[in-house]
């Protein structure tokens, strides 16, 4: 890099540099990182294209470029991401919430009764549970996670979003489910990537996101095999279990629900037309 740079110069150079590293949407990434350093939004960048970038700003920006060039996800570099039009703090202890998972939130809202109770298993950053609580002040929302670090992050997000008083977060996993606590709806975005697919993943996922939240046995279905029967005991009669699934897994997960005795099984597609949510109702 040369020493004298304007905002536009930096954006052009960085977009080209990222493209050479195989990074998709390099221009967008460059804008997000530079906006972070200059404390501007993206519109502000466009209004300041001719602004010279100071040496201290350039040094800070270089450090972020190096991290992104190593394929560290933008969300981890910035420490936050958007989900359901809410801002969540994220870090390497939790998966980065993705737009596909909003399909799970939408489906849960459709079946959650007025004043009902909902449990999110594997709460991570809290994105699913907190999005639902944000939409439904009447609901009793709870989230569990086996990871203390994830719970700490979810708790911080709940506090930041003003939802801490309405969402209960505790340590636990699906093996702790029993009839002593029952819910109208249980949701989960469990690990569902087959172990053999690890090499095919983008470096951002494979090398940076927590493996514990990604991989689930030889066929990616191990967590569903455990979750589906366990959740049944924690559901009220006519309650719903809804799970996110990977591409091509919907039929197999629906079959697991049917074998376990769930009724009214259905699937919902994400915006790309992929079957992303599979759900079933506990028969009375």
- The confidence score (pLDDT) of residue 265 equals 96
Q: What is the dihedral of CA 82, 130, 193, 112, to 10 degrees?
A: -130
Radius of gyration of the chain (CA): 21
Question: In the numeric block, which tokens belong to residue 83?
Answer: 């989900």
Question: In the numeric block, which tokens belong to residue 202?
Answer: 């983008």
pLDDT < 70 stretches in the chain = 1-3, 175, 179
Cα 66 to Cα 118: distance, rounded to the nearest angstrom = 42
Q: Which residue has the tokens 């972020």?
A: 64
Cα 174 to Cα 261: distance, rounded to the nearest angstrom = 18
Strands (E), the chain: 80-83, 86-89, 117-121, 140-145, 167-171, 183-188, 235-244, 262-269, 275-282
- The confidence score (pLDDT) of residue 195 equals 85
Terminal Cα distance for the chain, rounded: 67
- The confidence score (pLDDT) of residue 217 equals 81
Query: pTM of the predicted model, to two decimals?
Result: 0.90
- The confidence score (pLDDT) of residue 283 equals 86
Q: Which residue has the tokens 């989230």?
A: 143
- The confidence score (pLDDT) of residue 3 equals 63
Output the CA–CA distances (angstroms, integers) from residue 261 to 132, 155, 179, 242, 245, in the order listed: 27, 35, 17, 14, 19
How are beta strands 262-269 and 275-282 bridged, if at all?
antiparallel
- The confidence score (pLDDT) of residue 201 equals 87
How are beta strands 235-244 and 262-269 bridged, if at all?
unpaired
């Amino acid at each position: 890099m040369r020493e004298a740079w304007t905002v536009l110069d930096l954006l052009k150079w960085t977009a080209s540099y990222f493209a050479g590293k195989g990074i998709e949407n390099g221009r967008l990434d460059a804008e997000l990182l530079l906006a972070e350093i200059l404390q501007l939004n993206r519109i502000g960048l466009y209004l300041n294209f001719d602004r010279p970038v100071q040496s201290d700003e350039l040094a800070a920006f270089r450090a972020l470029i190096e991290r992104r060039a190593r394929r560290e996800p933008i969300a981890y570099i910035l420490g936050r991401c958007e989900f359901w039009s809410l801002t969540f703090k994220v870090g390497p202890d939790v998966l980065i919430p993705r737009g596909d998972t909003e399909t799970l939130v939408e489906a849960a809202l459709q079946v959650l009764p007025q004043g009902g109770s909902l449990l999110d298993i594997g709460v991570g950053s809290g994105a699913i549970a907190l999005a639902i609580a944000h939409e439904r002040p009447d609901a009793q929302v709870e989230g569990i996670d086996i990871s203390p670090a994830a719970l700490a992050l979810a708790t911080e997000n709940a506090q930041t979003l003003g939802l801490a008083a309405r969402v209960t977060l505790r340590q636990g996993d699906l093996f702790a489910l029993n009839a002593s606590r029952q819910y109208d709806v249980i949701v989960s975005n469990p690990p569902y990537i087959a172990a053999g697919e690890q090499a095919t993943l983008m470096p951002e996922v494979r090398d940076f996101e927590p493996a514990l939240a990604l991989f689930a046995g030889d066929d990616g279905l191990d967590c569903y095999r455990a979750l589906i029967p366990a959740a049944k005991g924690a559901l009220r009669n006519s309650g719903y279990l809804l799970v996110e699934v990977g591409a091509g897994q919907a039929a197999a997960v629906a079959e697991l629900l049917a074998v376990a005795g769930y009724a009214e099984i259905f699937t919902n597609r994400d915006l790309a037309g992929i079957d992303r949510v599979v759900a079933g109702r506990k028969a009375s």
